[in-house]
Structures are given as C-alpha cells and as structure tokens.
Amino acid sequence: MPVTQTARYPDASHPADGNPPTFESVWASFQENDRIIKEHAKEMEKLRKSQEETARQMDLQMKEYNKRFGDFTRRFGEVVEYMIAPNLLKKFKEYGFKFHEAMSDRVFSDDDDNALFEVDIFLQNGDKAMLVEVKTKLTTEDVKEHIERLENMRAYADLHGDKRIFLGAVAGVVMTLHVKKYALGRGFYVIEPSGETFNITPPNGQPKEW
C-alpha cells in the first residue's frame, strides 16, 4: 500500500495549521507592503523637497548677507580712504617725502581708455610717487596684489617716459601682526589708525623702489 507524503511549509508565513496560504492572502499582503513602501517614498520625497527649500532659503540669505557685507566693507574702505588721503602729504614729510599732490581712486588706462589698474591713493612730486592701497582688513594677498600693482606701474611709466621712482604703502583698519610684518618685509610703509589719526611704520631697511 503506497505511503502518502504530506507537504510541509516550515516558513513562518504559513498558517499554524500547516495549510498553504491562499492566493488572496498573498496578494493582500503584497498590496499592503506596496502601500507602505509608496507612503514611505512619498514621505521621503516631502523631506527631500523640504531640505531643498531650506537649502535654497539659506543660500539666498547667505548671498544677501555677502552682498550687504561687501557693500559695507566697500563704503567703509572709501571713508577710511578719504580720511587718510588729505593727511598723508603732511605725514610723509616726517620721512623726508615732499609730495605736493594726493589723488584718490587714480585709474591708469591704455591708449583706448581701457582701465589697466587703479590706485586707491596716489601721492606724487616731480621725482617720486607713492602708491597706497587701502583696505578695511589687510591680508597678505592684498600685499602681494599691491606688489603686482607696483610692477604694473613701473611698466606703465616706462612705456610713457616717466622715469620717477615709485614706492608703496598699505593701509588697513584691521591687520594681524603677521600681515604687518609681511608688508614691512616687502619694503612697504604700513599705515594704521591710532585714535583720531593714524600712524605710519617705515619698512624694514630701505623702502623698496620700483
């Protein structure tokens, strides 16, 4: 007499009575899982959009802050520039320079009126000229750029038959001791505010001439 074998379903998804699940129960379970997954996906999409909107708002706020801070820095630098310029002629007399003219925002252009470079304060006489760079916060990069500006000035002057000696100075409302030493070591005069006026520190050794 043949032995009849009973099928077994050891996984926990089957009913405890050992009967296999029906198609309807499997389909219902599948639909429920699908609903949960879709709801989760919707929540994740809402979160993603919320994060994107937050990031966009933060980006806009940062751009507005940078714009306002840039405008403030520029205006503050202009105020410092115009406060310093009228008194530099007298101050530099203490160091043996008899400049007879001080000009602010002097722009040097080529023959086609294309601006080549700009000098915040330009002091001059018949023999020498001093190029002064004014910054709210002076950095080593500003000093390096001023060196390049002096080199451009020398090239421009040679091209136009100007044989005068050019010197450099940097002014900063805020500067670290490191930046100050760096500028002095490059042959620049350093101008700093002091109370209601300002002080000038001569460079280490002889001032650099271009």
On whether the pTM is more than 0.85, the answer is: no
Q: What is the pLDDT of residue 9?
A: 39
Give percent of the chain above pLDDT 90: 38
What does the pLDDT look like over 16-37, one tens digit per residue?
Answer: 555 665 656 666 776 777 788 8
C-beta of residue 124 within 8 angstroms of C-beta of residue 162: no
**Mean predicted confidence (pLDDT) in 125-136:** 93
Rounded distance between C-alpha atoms, residue 48 and residue 46, angstroms: 5
* Higher-confidence position of 84 and 151: 151
The band of 104, judged by pLDDT with boundaries at 50, 70 and 90, is confident
From residue 49, alpha-carbon distances to 3, 36, 40, 45, 62 in Å are 64, 20, 14, 6, 20
Q: What is the pLDDT of residue 136?
A: 83
Q: What is the pLDDT of residue 4?
A: 43
Type of residue found at 23: F
Most confident region among 4-13, 48-57, 121-130 by mean pLDDT: 121-130
Domains of the chain with CATH codes: 81-201 (3.40.1350)
What does the pLDDT look like over 81-100, one tens digit per residue?
Answer: 566 667 888 889 888 999 99
Q: How many residues in the chain?
A: 210
Helix axes 177-185, 140-159, angle to 10 degrees: 30
Residue 210 has pLDDT above 90, yes or no: yes
Rounded distance between C-alpha atoms, residue 107 and residue 118, angstroms: 4
